[in-house]
A and B are shown apart, each in its own frame.
Chain A
Amino acid sequence: MVGKKGGSKGMGVAEDAEEELARTPLQAIILADSFTTKFRPITLERPKVLLPLVNAPMIDYTLAWLESAGVEEVFVFCCAHSKQVMDYLDKSNWFGQPNFSVTTIESHNAISAGDALRLIYEQHVIRGDFILVSGDTVSNMSLSQALKEHKERRRKDSNAVMTMVIKQSKASPVTRQSRLGTEELFMVIDPETKQLLYYEDRGDNLKGYLSLDKALLTYNTSISLQNDKQDCYIDICSPEVLSLFTDNFDYQHLRRDFVKGLLVDDIMGYKIYSHEIHSSYAARIDNYRSYHTISKDIIQRWTYPLVPDVQFFGNSATKLERQGMYRAPEIKQSSSSKIGPFTVIGSGTSIGNNTEISNSVVGEGCSIGSNVTIESCYIWHNVTIEDGCKLKHSIVCDGVTMKSGAALEPGVVLSFKVVIGRNFLVPAYSKVSLHQQPIKQDSDEELEYADNSSGITESPSVSGTLDLLNEEERTELPDSQEYEVGDGGVGFIWLVSEAGQEEEWRHSVAPIPVDKLVEIMQISNDETDLPNEDGAFLPPSGELGPDSITNDSNEDAEDIRDDSVIFEREVEATFQRAVEEDVTDDHVILEVNSLRLSYNMASADCAGALFYSVMKLALDAPHDSPNELYKNVVSTVRKWKKLLKYYLSSIDEEIEVILKFEEMCLESAREYSPLFVQILHHLYDQDIIQEEAILDWASEKEGAEESDKIFVKQSEKFIQWLKEASEEEDED
């Protein structure tokens, strides 16, 4: 450390600007509050950052990482349960570290990350670039590279205010969520400058479509849309970020408000960049599922050196044995018990006969009875589990007692000091707490206050006798709020709201049940089937259904026919609109052209479709006799002659029009069939169709079947006349 400092000072002498940068110590802000309620009911009693993650409080991981990454000053912003956080930091040795100062900032009114940053801004403690993380971040990345990039960009462009750390992590194609249980994240990044151009972390709102601003393509030579990245929630920020939060006092959420706000706002021109890490680890504990996943990552040593057997900070000496078994000293273990792979056992824990533990974390001072099965659970400190209990995929907090024979189904969370009664089966995904569930559903941004002074005064204290508690409960909530956790149990099962119940499995510690997966798979299959059947309803803006790429060649022909039908309808609709709204010919041409491009049609198709529309219009006009119909046609054609002529630039297109007309007479508009020759003649007179086209059409039809020749025969006389006329011309 000493040598390093001396070196940086020496360099500073050389360049004044460099010196300025080097002298400001690297600062970091830790938000020791997530401002969400995802870890309720546990967070009613203890702040999230102090929850043990593989037997060490989460904030220790964050602090240890920042310390080793060379951060010199850390400001811990405490909000909910601020006293507990400060007490913990006091007790631990974090305050007395050389070259690493930890300062706490306490607030009771902040209800979001935005409020917190505004408060920190007012304190004027941040002097240079700083790292912004939340207190539940686990990482071993080195910040030097990202910092260097950030500073270099800043030197060139003072608007580059923030660098976000991202990491590759594929989202599950079925559940559309990452392995950390967060929504699939979509980002648009400039592949060269790494500038972040678009950020969307709420995949659910997208309904399968992602709409990007056209401007993205106009201002950037290339962009890459990525959905296999994970946001590590590690931001390297310039001091401007704090003032931006102060200026925009409605910014609450770091991503939803701030990042999206900056990306949309093009007046100030602030830019956000991304920094991708490859070999190092970074993740944030956002929900129970990420708690589970990150615990496993730690046990599998992806976070090295932040692993249980390395004493990175204050954790007790633990030895790593074969197959990822971590054992602290002073474990009393019966020789008949089995401890499986990837298990961590804390010191002072005793394990009874024939007990099996696998893939789990057991904290310090727990006593586990005989014939207990523990599978993929997180058991915190001083838990008592009596004989014959069965635990699966659950979180059991400090001081819980499970009476003999009790069982936990997957996804259960038992909060502090809950007692589960004898032989009681706790249903899947239920959360049990000594605290009552708040009656009204709080908003997402609601605070997790449970300081002694406020919040939980209505909740019973643990030390009270059972009867008294029940009494109290009855007076407060008359309906069925007695303890419902079995004989001699203490605790309330939290009800999950109707909407939430569906989503509960997404964020729980339990693996996603197979039937859920199958269900989603079916839904998503149905979704992808939809566009095939209802293709006609696709919006005409060139959106492609997901199937259009994967179709095999058999379906291609069908597709083209479908397309041409859709195209005709679209042209007709455009034309109708033109008639109704009195749009000029030029604009109609423009629209039809764009349709032609998007459906990949030839101009002959346009001519045919347009002609069809014109004739349809004439047909739709009120008429009683063929004569009136003819008059309608004459007037309509006169009106739209210019438009038709535009598309009838060559013989082929004219022939197409005649064929179309023929088709109409045969199928959709039989009224025209007696008038075929008359109208054809009229079109000839109007110079819409030339004689070559008519003659070619006639000769083409010569070889056709009798049924196809009806109209050729009808117009035989006319054709004859045409031939003669041309011969006469030739003679002249």
Chain B
Amino acid sequence: MNALVNEFIIKLKKRKIEGSKTTAKLTAEVLRSCISQQRLPQTHQADALIDAIRGIGEKLIAANPVELAVGNIVRRVLNIIREEDVSLTAAAVGGLGISAGSDDEDDVKQDDHQGLSAAAVAAAARNTLRPPSLQTLLEDIPQSTAVPRTSSSAGDSEGKSKSADKNSTSKKLKHNVIEAVNELIQDIATCHEQIAEQAVEHIHHNEVILTLGNSRTVMEFLCAAKEKKRSFRVFVAEGAPRYQGHALAKELVARGLQTTVITDSAVFAIISRVNMVVVGAHTVMANGGVIAPVGMNMVALAAQRHAVPFVVLAGTHKLCPLYPHNPEVLLNELKSPAELLDFGEFSDCLDFESSSGSPLLDVVNPAFDYVPPNLVSLFITDTGGHNASFMYRLIADYYSADDIVVKQKSIS
């Protein structure tokens, strides 16, 4: 287990893993294998598991603090453990209630609430903050009815089954958590499709869409609209200095989309002809601000000036429960200046022979830009479209408030 984690940490440290989606997926997979190999004590299983994951998560986050997807997934997994724990205890308590002989559902619920500690109530209250999808509501019911039956059947031979019961609940917790993490990995893998499904609602006939750089999500989104027989035109700002827009243009043309490539500096000139700006993001912060490839702020400002909707596509793994403090510096990565200039060409400008020893030429190559929430018209995530001011609410659905600071506590 350690070897696996260490290898992943080294890769993160050396910046060998790029892109928030791959990072998120790999993080989730590493955590899953950690959970499955974690030996749990008899009591306070959830706490032990949470603490172990926290320890690993802390290291992972430190390995590449700029890649926020790592922290997001660690927090998501922690939240999953909490939820599964709560639902298991609730089920167990509920099971006791049933075995006590009450037939009425409502009574059971009330009994539950009386039996639970204050913390559990709080957790349950948070539990209700989960995305209010019908599926989860439906899933909850069979679980709570299924569990009691096993426990009641085990209740017949009460004395000897006590330890076996514990064992089964420990396995149960692990099993449930792993199931949920699997679901999370599934979600990450399919987030493009989920977002792309909504494309038809946003892109209409004969529209002009502008995008910057290369985002897989954006590409899938545009292609989905194309597949639904919408005909529209795409302007691609090339995204200096990495020029990933070129790759995007290639892909779009291969899928038969009308594509125009422009320089980043031509965005303002072209924006009045554009109906909508659709871009990808590196991370969405809790206040609705967006960390995105460099140049995005300029596009957002241009869009605001001409009242063009600025739409940001982001999978749920990109939602980050942190607030951006000093985002230009703390949440940025300065890449090699070699992406901008050829070192050899400028080698004579880089002589450090001025009297103070400071170079006359300095080249700065930040990877990210910060787009404040007031410039974003709409976020489209796997779960649908949201306003920037709603993001904190959405984020509260996915993360527990206890996990915002990921730090290992000593095991009690």
The interface of chain A, by Cβ under 8 A from chain B, is 1, 64, 68, 97-98, 140, 167-170, 172, 179, 228, 230, 278-281, 292-293, 296-297, 300-305, 310-312, 317, 319-322, 324, 340-342, 358-359, 375-376, 393, 511-512
B333 to chain A, nearest CB (A): 9
- Tally inter-chain residue pairs, CB-CB below 8 A: 106
Let me know if B352 is at the binding interface, CB within 8 A.
Answer: yes
Check A311 against B337 for contact (C-beta < 8 Å).
Answer: no
Decide if B357 is an interface residue (CB 8 Å cutoff): yes
A170 to chain B, nearest CB (A): 5
Which residues of the partner chain B approach A342 to less than 8 Å between Cβ atoms?
358-359, 362
B-chain residues with CB within 8 Å of residue A168 when the two chains form the complex: 342-345, 347
Closest Cβ of chain B to A70, distance in Å, is 11
A172 contacts B351, C-beta separation under 8 Å? yes
Q: 17 A-B pairs, CB-CB below 8 angstroms?
A: A68-B14, A98-B3, A98-B7, A167-B343, A169-B344, A170-B348, A179-B351, A228-B344, A280-B338, A310-B15, A312-B13, A319-B330, A320-B329, A322-B329, A342-B359, A358-B357, A359-B357
Residue B269 lies at the interface, judged by CB distance under 8 Å to chain A: no
Top 6 A-B pairs, shortest CB-CB distance: A168-B344, A376-B357, A304-B336, A511-B353, A169-B347, A359-B357
Enumerate B315-361 residues with CB–CB distance to A below 8 Å. 329-330, 334-339, 342-345, 347-348, 350-359
Residue B335 contacts which of A98, A296, A301, A376 (CB distance < 8 angstroms)?
A301
Inter-subunit contact A281/B358 (CB<8 Å): no
Please measure, in the bound complex, the distance between the C-alpha atom of A9 and the C-alpha atom of B34, giving whole angstroms: 29
Report how far A546 CA is from B280 CA in the complex, Å. Answer: 58
Task: Knowing A169-B344, A310-B13, A324-B362 are in contact, say whether A293-B357 is a contact too (CB < 8 A).
Answer: no
Q: Are B13 and A140 in contact (CB under 8 A)?
A: no
Kindly list chain A residues whose C-beta atoms are within 8 Å of the C-beta of B330.
319
| Contact call A170/B14, Cβ cutoff below 8 A | no
In Å, the complex CA distance between A51 and B334 comes to 26
Query: Within the complex, what minimum Cβ distance (angstroms) separates B57 from chain A?
Result: 16
Chain B residues whose CB sits within 8 angstroms of the CB of A301 once the complex forms: 334-337, 365
Q: Across the interface, do B356 and A170 meet the contact criterion of CB distance under 8 Å?
A: no
Contacts of B359 in A (CB 8 A): 296, 300, 342
Bound form: Cα–Cα A527–B240 in Å: 47
Alpha-carbon gap, A169 to B15, bound state (A): 28
Per-residue A-contact encoding for B132-163, CB less than 8 Å = 1, 0 else: 00000000000000000000000000000000
Question: With A and B bound together, what is the CA distance between A304 and B338 in angstroms?
Answer: 9
- The answer for the CA separation of A280 and B351 in the assembled complex, in Å, is 18
Distance, CA A5 to CA B377, complexed state (A): 46
Residue pair A293, B365 in contact (C-beta under 8 Å):
no
Tell whether B363 is near chain A: CB-to-CB under 8 Å: yes
Once the chains are docked, how many angstroms separate the CA of A337 from the CA of B355? 21
Which residues of chain B come closer than 8 Å to A305, judged between CB atoms? 14-15, 336
Asked if B344 contacts A278 (CB within 8 A), the reply is yes
Do B3 and A302 touch across chains, with their CB atoms under 8 A apart? no
Residues of chain A within 8 A (CB-CB) of B337 are 300-302
- Asked whether B15 lies within 8 Å of A358 as measured between CB atoms, the reply is no
Q: A280: nearest residue on chain B (CB-CB)?
A: B338
**Of A230, A296, A302, which is within 8 A of B352 by CB?**
A296
Q: Which residues of B contact A (CB under 8 A)?
A: 3, 7, 10, 13-16, 62-63, 329-330, 334-339, 342-345, 347-348, 350-359, 362-363, 365
Residues of A within 8 A of B352 (CB): 292-293, 296, 376, 511
Chain A neighbourhood of B7, CB < 8 A: 1, 98
Which residue from chain B places its CB closest to the CB of A304 in the assembled complex?
Answer: B336
Additional pairs, 11, CB under 8 Å, beyond known A169-B347, A292-B352, A305-B15: A168-B344, A278-B342, A279-B343, A281-B336, A301-B365, A302-B337, A304-B336, A311-B63, A359-B358, A375-B357, A376-B357
Give Cα distance in the complex from A324 to B358, angstroms: 11
Given the complex, which residues of B lie within 8 Å of A376, measured CB to CB? 352, 356-358
In the docked arrangement, what's the CA distance between A274 and B209, Å?
47
A578 to chain B, nearest CB (A): 52
Specify which chain A residues have a CB less than 8 angstroms from the CB of B15 in the assembled complex.
Answer: 305, 310
Chain B residues with CB below 8 A from A281, complex form: 336, 338, 343
Q: Given the complex, which residues of A lie within 8 Å of B344, measured CB to CB?
A: 167-170, 228, 278
Chain A minimum-CB-distance residue to B354? A511
* A322 shortest CB reach to chain B, Å: 6
| A538→B16 CA distance, assembly (Å) | 60
CB distance from A298 to the nearest CB of B (A): 11
A405 to B350, CA, bound (A): 33
Contact (Cβ within 8 A) A311 B13 = yes
Nearest chain A CB to B179's CB is how many angstroms away? 25
- Give the Cβ gap from A518 to chain B, nearest Cβ, in Å: 14
Contact: A279 with B338, CB < 8 Å? yes
Structural contact, A358 and B356, CB atoms closer than 8 A: yes
- Whether A359 pairs with B356 at a CB distance below 8 angstroms is yes
Q: In the assembly, what is the distance between CA of A296 and CA of B353, in Å? A: 11
Asked if A341 and B16 make an inter-chain contact with CB atoms under 8 angstroms apart, the answer reads no
Asked if residues B62 and A310 are in contact (CB atoms below 8 Å), the reply is no
Query: A301–B333 Cα gap in the complex (Å)?
Result: 11
| A302 smallest CB distance to B (angstroms) | 6
Nearest-neighbor residue (CB-CB) of A96 within chain B: B6
Q: Would A393 and B339 be within 8 Å (CB), given that A170-B348, A292-B352, A320-B334 are in contact?
A: no
Give the chain A neighbours of B3 by CB distance below 8 A.
Answer: 98
In angstroms, Cα B342 to Cα A263, docked, is 30
Q: How far is the CB of A291 from chain B (nearest CB, A)?
A: 12
Q: Are A312 and B363 in contact (CB under 8 A)?
A: no
A281 to B353, CA, bound (A): 20
User: A517: nearest residue on chain B (CB-CB)?
Assistant: B353
What residue of chain A has the Cβ atom nearest to residue B340's Cβ? A279
Known: A140-B336, A305-B14. Contact between A179 and B347, CB under 8 A?
yes
Please name all residues of chain B whose beta carbon is closer than 8 Å to the beta carbon of A322 when the two chains form the complex.
329
Q: Which of A303, A310, A319 contacts B14, CB < 8 Å?
A: A310
Expressed in whole angstroms, the minimum distance between the Cβ of B33 and any Cβ of chain A is: 13
